Amino acid sequence: MTAWKTRRSPRLGPFGMRVLFWVLVELWVLNIADLLLTRYSLWLGFATESNNVMSYFFHTGEVPAGVFKIGIVTVGTLLLWRLRRYRTALFAAALLAGVFAAVVAYQALWVLSL
């Protein structure tokens, strides 16, 4: 039973939690960068929002779009921090931060290339 539990939910040590903390901070900041770059790209007129949910919010207005995007990532970040004892939380946070970093790097280069 103990072995099964350990397999299901490997624990994070204090060092892992510190890594998780910084990755979550990174994720939150990258989300803001993504929001600003998306807003700027849409303003430039060369891009369209491919995410239907965000497209709906951007059509509603910039404030609702910002509140939704920052809100949902903040909630997700807090949820992952609440699950900080589990190693899966660190993997999930690293994956999300990596994807956001890729998107932000792509967008930044694209905007610079215009």
Partner 1 sequence: MPEPLTPTGTTPAPHLGAQPLTQGAQPRRRRSEAWALLFAALVLLVGAAVGTVGFLAEQATANWRPHIARTQTGWRITEARMLGLSGLALCDGHLAWQDGASILLLDLRSGKAKLLGPGSQALTTWQPAISERYVVWFEGRQAGALSAGAWTYDIATRRRSQIATVGDVLSLPSVSGARTVWCTSGNARSQIVGVDLTNGKGFVVASEYGQPAIDGSLVAWGRSAGGGPSTFGIVDLTQDRSWTVVPSGLGGSGSLTGFDLSGRTLVWGQQDAQTGVGRIVAQNVDTGATSVVAEDARMATAPSVDGDAVVWGEQTPDGAAYQVMGRRLSGGPSFQIARVDGRIQTALVSGGTVAWLVRNFAAGGPAWIETTRLPR
Binding site for partner 1 (CB under 8 A): 14-15, 18-19, 21-23, 25-26, 30, 43-46, 48, 94, 97-107, 109-110, 113-114
Residue spans of alpha helices (H) in 1-86 = 2-8, 14-44, 52-60, 62-82
Nearest CA among 51, 16, 56 for reference residue 31? 51
* Closest CB 13 distance from partner 1, rounded Å: 10
- Interatomic CA distance for residues 32 and 34, integer angstroms: 5
- Of 46 and 67, which has the nearer Cβ to partner 1? 46
- Interatomic CA distance for residues 6 and 27, integer angstroms: 28
* Closest CB 98 distance from partner 1, rounded Å: 4
- Of 22 and 56, which has the nearer Cβ to partner 1? 22
* Closest CB 82 distance from partner 1, rounded Å: 19
- Of 70 and 94, which has the nearer Cβ to partner 1? 94
Burial class, 61, CB count within 10 angstroms (exposed 0-12 / middle 13-18 / buried 19+): exposed
- Of 46 and 56, which has the nearer Cβ to partner 1? 46
Q: At what angle are helices 14-44 and 62-82 packed, to 10 degrees?
A: 170
* Closest CB 112 distance from partner 1, rounded Å: 10
